[in-house]
Structure 1
Amino acid sequence: MNLFTGTISKIESGLAYSSVKQKVIANNIANADTPGYKSKEVSFKGILQNEMKLQSSNGSGKNPSPFGMNTDPGEPRIAERNYSIRQNGNGVDMDREMANMATNQIYYDALIERISGKFSTLNTVIKGGK
């Protein structure tokens, strides 16, 4: 029995991805002047493969928790970029990081808007349309 539709759990996974990505970007910006630091990025491919594996295991009749909730969403994979853009070996491109941060913020805001709408709909149903 699923308490919520799959949409809410997928939005939750998207929010977790966005949160990790924000932390990685902030860490890259914080280390922009650290000699030898290689910038990092969150691997979307790893997250997608993990979600596909979880979906296939849940679809095979196994339900790891009550109400069909995912108790082990897995960790996003963080990869190091192997290039240097400065003589001191630092690989942080501030323009790229700021653009990534803005893109991630738009993605996060869209997910928050969507999950807020879902909860608003559930609240209306619980109240009986009032």
Structure 2
Amino acid sequence: MSISFDKAFGVHQYTLGVRSRRAEVLASNIANADTPGYKARDLDFSQALQQAQGAQGFNMATTNERHFGLNVENLGALKYRSPLQADTGDGNTVDLQQERSDFMQNSLEYQTSLEFMNSKISGLLKALKGEQ
């Protein structure tokens, strides 16, 4: 009898990769808060999640045929964020408070999915061992 990871983990197996990629984008925005002309970007989460669940799936360049494919670089289209504040004159559109808030929210949601996956894996291990 095989285990269906889609049924066992639901959407959480896909959200981890998407949230990880979004954390990279938000961190890049924060790092470039003082870079003249830098335009803040964000990941369209729902589009990226649909791509992760869809036929494209994840495809990572692997070094061994036994490796799993995972490509979070091409998940969802990166979009430029509309600035909420007036232009400061240098063309930078990063709102540091918004980026930090979004980063923290994304981190909490990542942690939630990770905890859910951990509990599911623990449950599967208990079932395999015959424990209650």
The reply to whether TM is greater than 0.5 is yes
**1-side partners of 2:91 and 2:55: how far apart?**
39
The corresponding residue for 1:63 is: none
> Which residue of the partner structure matches residue 35 of structure 2?
34
For structure 2, the residue ranges without an aligned partner over 5 or more in a row are: 57-67
Pairwise CA distance, 1:2: 5.8
* SS of 1:79 mapped into structure 2: strand
Provide the C-alpha distance between the structure 2 equivalents of 1:128 and 1:28, rounded to a whole number of angstroms.
48
**Residue 72 (structure 1) shift:** 6.7
Asked if the contact 2:43–2:76 (Cα under 8 Å) also holds between the matched residues in 1, the reply is yes
- Give the deviation of 1:16 after TM superposition: 0.5
Take 1:75 and 1:52, find their aligned partners in 2: how far apart are those partners? 10
What is the SS of the residue equivalent to 1:17? Answer: helix
Equivalent pairs, count: 116
Deviations 1:102-129 (A, max 9, x none): 1011101100110000000011011111
CA deviation after TM superposition for structure 1 residue 10, in Å: 2.2
Unaligned runs of at least 5 residues, structure 1: 56-69
Residue by residue over 1:45-83, the C-alpha shift from the partner in whole angstroms, topping out at 9 and shown as x without a partner, is 42244256439xxxxxxxxxxxxxx95776222112254
Identity of aligned residues (%): 29
The alignment yields a C-alpha RMSD, in angstroms, of: 2.6
The aligned residue for residue 44 of structure 2 is 43
Aligned-partner Cα distance in 1 for 2:27–2:111: 17
Q: TM-score under structure 2 normalisation?
A: 0.74
1:12: how far off?
A: 1.8
Match of 2:118 in 1: 116
> TM-score, normalization: structure 1?
0.75
